[in-house]
Amino acid sequence: MKKVFAVLLFVALVSSSAFAAEGETVKLPDPEKSGGIPVIEAIAQRQSAGDFVDTELTLQEMSNLLWAAGGINRDNGKLTFATAMNTQDMVIFAFTKSGVFRYNPDGHSITKVADGDYRVLTGGQPFVAKAAVDLLYIQDTEKWPKGRPIPASDILNCGFAHAGLSMQNVYLFAASKGWGARTRMNFDREKLTELLGLTEKHNFTLMQCVGPKP
């Protein structure tokens, strides 16, 4: 009985709003890959939301959301969205009320990169600071093959395309949950660069609010 209680207590702590301490990596529960509404209905219901409920997701909901956004869905390590030459160059950061997390598709885990609520840095509109999660899509150009004459502008264009493909997954996931989602590109690049430790090898693309709506 004591062992059962200890396990339940551990699960409750891990599933708390904080998820992890700064710098800590937490393995997410396996994503739920069944249920929801048919894809064609999700497409019909897809829209950009104008308001959100200021809440936090459970660890399972975070797992499902991030896997839909850019998790591994095949044994060969490829993702839920396509990338040019399978570069897998998109780094997804999740801004929540309790902190900022980097999603790690390999291992399906999150690493807390900052404590505290930094959602306001991802946009000036009031609903941005209320969304349960603000996803920031950063392109890591180091993932691109070396020694090939690929123009920087082409790489950046691919980054925006990759972000768009991932974001559409999130839109459909949100529609299947009855949540809202909204794409944006007005955010504080300077402060975010410092907060996330980004370099000149990282390109900002887009961000996306997602979560329950009123």
Whole-angstrom CA distances from 166 to 52, 74, 89, 109 are 21, 16, 12, 17
Sketch the domain layout of the chain as residue ranges: 2-211
Gap between the Cα atoms of 39 and 171, Å rounded:
11
CA atoms within 13 A on the CB side of 176: 19
**φ, ψ at 153 (rounded to 5°):** -65, -35
Gap between the Cα atoms of 22 and 100, Å rounded:
9
pLDDT of residue 106: 96
Q: How confident is the model at residue 18 (pLDDT cuts 50, 70, 90)?
A: low
**pLDDT per residue as tens digits for the range 25-52:** 999 999 999 988 999 999 999 999 999 9
According to DSSP H, which parts of 17-134 are helical? 39-45, 59-70
Q: How confident is the model at residue 97 (pLDDT cuts 50, 70, 90)?
A: very high
Q: How buried is 39 (Cβ within 10 angstroms: 0-12 exposed, 13-18 middle, 19+ buried)?
A: exposed
Q: How confident is the model at residue 205 (pLDDT cuts 50, 70, 90)?
A: very high
Looking at this protein, which amino acid is placed at residue 31?
A: P
| Cβ atoms 99, 139 nearer than 8 A | no
Q: Give mean pLDDT, residues 91-99.
A: 97
Q: Which CATH number fits domain 2-211: 3.30.470.20, 3.40.109.10, 3.60.15.10, 3.80.30.20?
A: 3.40.109.10
pTM for this entry = 0.89
Q: Is the pLDDT of residue 174 over 90?
A: yes
Q: Which of 188, 169, 173, 179 is nearest to 51 (CA)?
A: 179
**pLDDT per residue as tens digits for the range 116-168:** 999 999 998 999 999 999 999 999 999 999 888 899 999 999 999 999 999 99
pLDDT of residue 6: 40
**pLDDT per residue as tens digits for the range 187-202:** 999 999 999 999 999 9
Q: Give mean pLDDT, residues 80-95.
A: 98
pLDDT of residue 22: 82
**pLDDT per residue as tens digits for the range 65-80:** 999 999 999 999 999 9
Gap between the Cα atoms of 192 and 93, Å rounded:
11
Q: Which of 164, 163, 196, 211 is nearest to 65 (CA)?
A: 211
Q: Is the pLDDT of residue 8 over 60?
A: no
* Residues 6 or more apart whose Cβ sits within 8 Å of residue 197: 113
Q: Give mean pLDDT, residues 91-101.
A: 98
Strands 180-184 and 202-211, by their bridges, are: antiparallel
Q: Is the pLDDT of residue 14 over 60?
A: no
pLDDT of residue 3: 46
